[in-house]
Chain A
């Protein structure tokens, strides 16, 4: 069988030692890491803080007048995308509902403290599940809520989000290899598990276990308003432009622009600290980033990571993606596999720029950029881009 098709926990950095190996029975195989569209990046977070899921931490960040972003902080083993509230005088709009129903209820309570304006709209930035699995909670808390997505995104949500509510048991499957590592003291490659690594694995397991009850609360709720390129919403004294400028992280990337506040809310078109490039469009994504860079904006809220006050990171990501494709194109010849390409290219300058020598981040970079990104670049060069998917059985 092919690797476990699991929404979460695709990039199990560190769980498999060194470069990923092909073990068809293990989610740590190349396929699991590279072949599937990982949704939430599953990272081992640094010790020591034990974070049970009920204690899922997020920062409440004031972005501008009436605009607040709820940012997972720090990154948990099963991540959640940023949630942003944009309030006008007669209505409020939320960008993404996040991954977890119980967390969403806490965020909603915070929102009610921040504004008395009812949330009438919820826009989903793309179909990856860490961005909308709490739609139901928002819809129940705000009757009459309209859930908005781009035309491509809505059916992808219907396909994968609806299935994801039953993924709870698979979450346990995903951490079995970690448990084995703790039990045997050996990584799949036979090396010993060092104490610091053991601590990281323990934290990851604890966080995944804590997330499990959230799956029981999930009830899928899809979009009821869809559009292709742009709609503008009047929240009362404030217009929010919901836009799609082409394929990038997914084929349905939606972002929000608030002209009066000069705020861009990008979804996973921009992810900090490492872009998430599974299923992405390497040549088109930089074009979208270039267009985003042309907006009159002073504040950028990425899909994951901190609020930014300049375009440095946006430009860095654009250059990274351009560099990955350029490198792949430089070495690729018909018949070459993605692995062949990986061996022949040099992304060290970009790796250093994004990871600053941090080993965990390098593993993330190797999986998401050198792994998935190069896969997609090669698919483009072959003229055979695979459809985006979550379950490998769709491939």
Chain B
């Protein structure tokens, strides 16, 4: 099989979405949230009094759906992000509290973080959405185009994955491993869920636009919503609970490999933004994708990766390298080892979501005058 067209399709999707904000839940809505991931696609983890993370448990792969954070106050709930599995997330929240959701924060503009807005609004008519000011322009235009491409391309992508699996081959047309089979199966499930919930869903823009931030106060609870800088996109928001020392990072932090979009990410700014996040000294990080982190190690690893890319690309630009030459010159093998280890799935994801787009992003930022 000639994989090139498929990979190009995938790459177009990934890069056009600026890091593949593509996501989906593996399982139908009926699974109790407290059950392990394999059943419902996510588990609910209590992080502090009234603070719960709904954490995706899909195996690493190319398709993802986002985590959610529930901040349950005395009389209301503030939610972070509206994933594709929002209907399931709402069921999980209702098991925790009957209080209404008053605000929902979209940490950036990708579908796996905003597509559920309409579902949340239906469940909680009083909810208001908070997002970066750029969402108002992005979502109806670029966001709508990317969604259209995704809806057209994703089933083909899943079909090709399935075909490869049926032949016992991976996406590189090598013999498929068990890890890859698990990953592809998950990806296909996520695509199916995406196709079940996304087409036809109304785009809901923010009620409150912010450039810098705002703070919600609920009794003793403080909920700080901050744009700490550009990174995954220029619309990245962090939700910070200073009393509980919990940070919901959106896709500024993604496990097991960062999600970089060549068009939309800002690798040059990303380390500084992560430094601003680290300066808050969170005890707990809730990443956009991946498990809850109780130390800063992974965030620092991500920062160091981007700093290294910037330094290497900067040197390449200084000696007049073309983008292609810079790609060849940049050596991320040590980081690839750190992030992906021996996992073929993660190595593939690292190539897809880091090496290719991050060098391009850094090169663009280093060559374009601000």
Contacts and interface: CB of A to CB of B under 8 A. Distances in A.
Contacts of B126: 144
Given A120-B128, A146-B128, A151 B208 contact: no
A91 B207 CA distance: 10
A224 B102 CA distance: 12
B331 interface: no
Nearest to A148: B214
Contact of B213 (A91, A222, A227, A234): A227
Contacts of A151: 215
A6 B217 CA distance: 29
A144 B125 CA distance: 11
Interface in B259-296: none
B102 A144 contact: yes
A230 interface: yes
B152 interface: no
B51 interface: no
B238 to A, nearest CB: 15
B207 A227 contact: no
B215 A227 contact: yes
Contacts of A324: none
Given A232-B133, A234-B205, A227 B128 contact: no
B216 A227 contact: no
B211 interface: yes
B217 A224 contact: yes
A232 B137 CA distance: 14
Given A144-B126, A228-B213, A229-B212, A234 B218 contact: no
B179 interface: no
B229 interface: no
Interface string A206-229: 000000000000000011111111
Nearest to A234: B207
Nearest to A242: B208
Interface residues of A, number: 20
A231 interface: yes
A239 B206 CA distance: 11
A154 B214 CA distance: 12
Contacts of A50: none
Interface residues of A: mostly helix, strand, loop or mixed?
strand
Contact of B207 (A154, A223, A224, A233): A233
B321 interface: no
B244 interface: no
Given A144-B102, A144-B126, A225 B210 contact: no
Contacts of B216: 224-225
Nearest to A233: B208
A151 B208 CA distance: 17
B210 A227 contact: yes
Interface string A78-108: 0000000000000100000000000000000
Interface string B208-244: 1111111111100000000000000000000000000
Contacts of A222: 217
Contact of A234 (B100, B209, B211, B214): B209
Given A120-B128, A225-B215, A231 B205 contact: no
Given A120-B128, A146-B128, A232 B209 contact: yes
Given A120-B128, A144-B102, A144-B126, A234 B215 contact: no
A229 B208 CA distance: 14
A230 B212 contact: yes
B274 to A, nearest CB: 22
A224 B218 contact: yes
A223 B214 CA distance: 12
Interface in A128-170: 144, 146, 151, 154
4 closest A-B pairs (Cβ-Cβ)? A232-B209, A227-B214, A226-B215, A144-B126
13 contacts: A120-B128, A154-B217, A223-B217, A225-B217, A227-B213, A230-B212, A231-B210, A233-B207, A233-B209, A234-B136, A234-B206, A234-B209, A239-B209
Given A228-B213, A234-B208, 19 more contacts: A120-B128, A144-B102, A146-B102, A224-B218, A225-B216, A226-B215, A226-B217, A227-B212, A227-B214, A228-B212, A229-B212, A230-B210, A230-B212, A231-B210, A232-B133, A233-B208, A234-B205, A234-B207, A239-B209
Interface of A: 91, 120, 144, 146, 151, 154, 222-234, 239
